Structure 1
């Protein structure tokens, strides 16, 4: 897919996202396009296993260094790869700050790979075609108004809206005609 520009989430945004998704022990958070690793560091501090998916080798090295310095390298995994090539099925939480065109493509991947109940936090840019279960607006430390969109796989995704029904057996027209005559 290639690189996307690095635009870091504010520290306030990261803290608010993790609060909104209730990230803690037992969670596995994937940060797609992890940048400098601020979301995975904070998630690991809260007890989650955090996976930084970052294609840029400079940022991957920086995240590894920060994880060691914080004493969290046992709780942070750095995958230096394109997130479109990363299996996401182990995630309980996804954090993303990505353009809608990329989110649209990722939504197909989410539908195939994520388990029901997986929480997805989209920072400032919603996932096209998905319905958030919560929208949270806040002012960050720079005075910017920001928005988090919380999605839950199995509720927010269009594939969960399809009505599932059993096949209706064919009508026995002879039986119906006999009843109608009586």
Structure 2
């Protein structure tokens, strides 16, 4: 029997690939019956709400490395950034669905959770800019959005069979850093 986290993660993966998936399609995609899924979630909306709550919880946990003191140095920032990026990889499927679903986005609790997470991430990225570890000519929001774009692309590449799960951490981190690191001084 599938535990709650596995069920919600599986539902998020199905929904990331097909936002309009029915309960029957979601159940088939995660290897359970529609009846079993319906016993846990009476409606599709209830399932979507549970996936959104799971997404907030998972990303909250992933943001722990971003909670650096303002006195952190460049090496501490770099290590925390790598932990953040690799920690967010397993959450990409949750974000890929929740960030695009109108039902989820209309939920004030979900929006408040996203805003809280954005503020944590933006404070971290601003620290990286002050330390000279991230480009200052890019808005911190752009850096944050670009990271999620790469994570979403990685999840899609794995889902479509074009990328190996074991490679995406390296690919996302290399792509992210090549675009956000300051250029060396001439």
TM range (shorter): under 0.3
Higher share of residues assigned helix: 2
Higher share of residues assigned strand: 1
> When the two structures are superposed, what TM-score results if normalisation uses the length of structure 2?
0.26
> When the two structures are superposed, what TM-score results if normalisation uses the length of structure 1?
0.26
